[in-house]
Structure 1
Amino acid sequence: MKKRVRNFTAQLIAKSLIWTGALKKAKAKALRGDHILSIYFHKPTKEEFEYVISWLSKNNFNFIDLEDLQEIRLGNKAFPKGAVLITVDDGWGNNEVNMAEVAEKHQVPITIFLATEAIEKGYFWFSIAKKAFAKKIGTPHSEEMKMLPNQERMKIVQSILSQLPNDREAMTLGQIKKINEFNFVNLAAHTHSHPILIQCSDEEAFQEITTSKAKVSEWTGKTITAFAYPNGDYGTRETKILEEQGFLLGFTTKAVPMTPSALDKPYELPRLGFLEGASKEENLCRILGIWKTKKNLTLK
């Protein structure tokens, strides 16, 4: 009930942004080359992803990949007009059918950032934490757990695992091997256990980043040069690790368009988030960068 009310309210707000011309203005700015639309997903349905691809294509946007972005950043390519960069966080099992196969079909490049422990074990800690909270077994909500020191969070996760079954939600290694052969799918690093990096010790942060890079490289046979911060949380320590470990690009969840000046900070690149389950109108406002998040309109 709360979700329906939230989505209805958000849809009304989004429609007002469309009716007042805000969406049209934002689209015009992107098409004339003011910025790149850097859009990220988690686990959309096939219909949701296809709608976004179709809408962007029909509205004369074109899709770029990470190699293009790096060339643009270095000045080897001109800053583009109407460019869209698509990334995906975590590595959910349904990403293969709902995103990778769709991207391959429409020849739209996407990059999936993998939390490597989830690929190996099958579960995402924040997902099982939400289930545990819903079952009222006495553990905090996943959003509260993100605020805890990493070791404390890990103890709670282990407690949950001892009480609840954890069905596989992440992609398998077999799926990774399969989509690694796709022409329009790139795989990159998203830490090992998907911790909140700023809650980690120096050693934990280093190991999380380097382990994920090594494992994705091993699975794909490729050099991994891009990284996305879990939950978008990072600091100067994390950007320094990325630079020292040979990463070229680091992605945040700063919900602003990617302007030419944003490329001056390659380890702090912004992304506009798509919200699974929200209305088409709301998500158009989100991916065009005109949606202002309200706390009471956040899906839990």
Structure 2
Amino acid sequence: MRQVVEALISGEALPPRTVAFTLDDGFYDQAKTALPVFESYQAPVTLFLATDMQDQRYWSWDYKLEYIFKHTPRQSLELDLGKGVAPQTFATSKDKRDLVRALRNLNKRLPNQAAESSVKDIAERLAVHLPAEAPDEYQPITWEQARSLESHYVEFGPHTQRHPILAQVSDEEAKQEIVGSWKALQANIANPVPIFCYPSGREGIDFGVREQKIVKQAGLIGAFSADPGYVHLTRADNNRFSLKRFNFPNDITHFRQYCSWLEYAKERMSRR
């Protein structure tokens, strides 16, 4: 990602069909399983860290939701998913995944404190104890691990401190989340990437002009959303503080489409 953004700034070309990989948040399994794979194939990757996970073993409400439905002994609950209170059943893993996704989307529209309270209420109603610190299955990468993994191919960048939806916090909180995470990286990593990654990352919904301004004022050289799309090095209207990236697909066919002319051609046609 560092090379991509530096190319945008300098105007220099990258090799044809360049692909940059990212991972978000900073969990132990990413350090144990994923990063060594990138290293072994000498494939550059940037891992964006929510730094309070490292500093305080903090875990955010969206992961707490997932934990609740993994561990509840119950299979139904009355919930309002936007169409009034109604019974929701979740007997299968798929049911639980779908319900967690729906609840996450609803809570992303709430102030962070309200989302935390909503998740706490669901945990109590589903008879699940939420640990104050992240349990082992949500164990974060430690700073020591990050330092040992940092290399020519593995880099780390800032992703807020506590992983809130930035559009739902105050001006001061947004600044603290962005600047604080960058300072934590600078204090703990030898060569952190000066590029930010917005939690959830939908432009105009999860972040906007305010957040982009804070990122720029913090001295960072760019920022990535989670909106799908390419980074076009030659386009004059590039916004370095709201760059797009594709979610990694579930099958190799779609991955090949993203990395080839086919998805690019579809994008060009959709803009006509």
TM range (shorter): 0.7 to 0.9
Change (3 A) 1:223 1:91: closer
Change (3 A) 1:70 1:228: same
CA distance in 2, matches of 1:147, 1:101: 36
Per the TM alignment, residue 79 of structure 1 is displaced from its structure 2 partner at its CA by: 4.7
2:134 aligned with 1:164: no
Aligned twin of 1:89? 24
Q: Unpaired runs of 5+ in structure 1?
A: 1-64, 293-300
Which string of whole-angstrom CA distances, capped at 9 and with x for unpartnered residues, describes residues 1-56 of structure 1? xxxxxxxxxxxxxxxxxxxxxxxxxxxxxxxxxxxxxxxxxxxxxxxxxxxxxxxx
Contact 2:53 2:162 in 1 (8 A): yes
CA distance in 2, matches of 1:138, 1:247: 45
Contact 2:230 2:245 in 1 (8 A): yes
Decide which of 147, 153, 160 is 1:177's aligned counterpart.
Answer: 147
Aligned length: 224
Per the TM alignment, residue 133 of structure 1 is displaced from its structure 2 partner at its CA by: 4.3
Contact 1:272 1:287 in 2 (8 A): no
Aligned twin of 2:53? 118
CA distance in 1, matches of 2:64, 2:6: 40
Change (3 A) 1:122 1:285: farther
CA distance in 1, matches of 2:184, 2:41: 29
Contact 2:50 2:163 in 1 (8 A): yes
CA distance in 2, matches of 1:285, 1:124: 33
Aligned twin of 1:19? none
Write 1 or 2 for the structure with the bigger share of helix: 1
| TM-score under structure 2 length normalisation | 0.72
Letter in 1 for 2:130: L
Contact 2:27 2:141 in 1 (8 A): yes
Greater Cα offset, 151-160 or 205-214: 151-160
Secondary structure in 2 matching 1:216: helix
2:248 aligned with 1:274: yes
Per the TM alignment, residue 286 of structure 1 is displaced from its structure 2 partner at its CA by: 5.1
Aligned twin of 2:88? none
Per the TM alignment, residue 108 of structure 1 is displaced from its structure 2 partner at its CA by: 1.4
Aligned twin of 2:230? 257
Which string of whole-angstrom CA distances, capped at 9 and with x for unpartnered residues, describes residues 81-123 of structure 1? 1111111111121112332211221211111000112223153
CA distance in 1, matches of 2:49, 2:229: 23
2:174 aligned with 1:212: no
Change (3 A) 1:218 1:137: farther
Q: How many percent identity over aligned positions?
A: 28
CA distance in 2, matches of 1:249, 1:273: 19
Contact 1:213 1:224 in 2 (8 A): no
Per the TM alignment, residue 274 of structure 1 is displaced from its structure 2 partner at its CA by: 0.5
**What pairs with 1:40-51 in structure 2 (closer than 5 Å)?**
none
CA distance in 1, matches of 2:146, 2:246: 25
Change (3 A) 1:77 1:195: same
Per the TM alignment, residue 224 of structure 1 is displaced from its structure 2 partner at its CA by: 4.7
Decide which of 149, 161, 176 is 1:192's aligned counterpart.
Answer: 161
Letter in 2 for 1:237: R
| TM-score under structure 1 length normalisation | 0.66
Of structures 1 and 2, the one with the larger relative CO (CA 8 A, separation 6+) is 1
**What pairs with 1:1-300 in structure 2 (closer than 5 Å)?**
65-66=1-2, 68-119=3-54, 120-121=56-57, 123-133=59-69, 135=72, 141-157=103-119, 160=123, 163-165=129-131, 166-168=134-136, 169=138, 170-180=140-150, 182-222=151-191, 224-232=193-201, 233-260=206-233, 261=235, 264-275=238-249, 278-285=250-257, 290=263
Change (3 A) 1:201 1:212: same
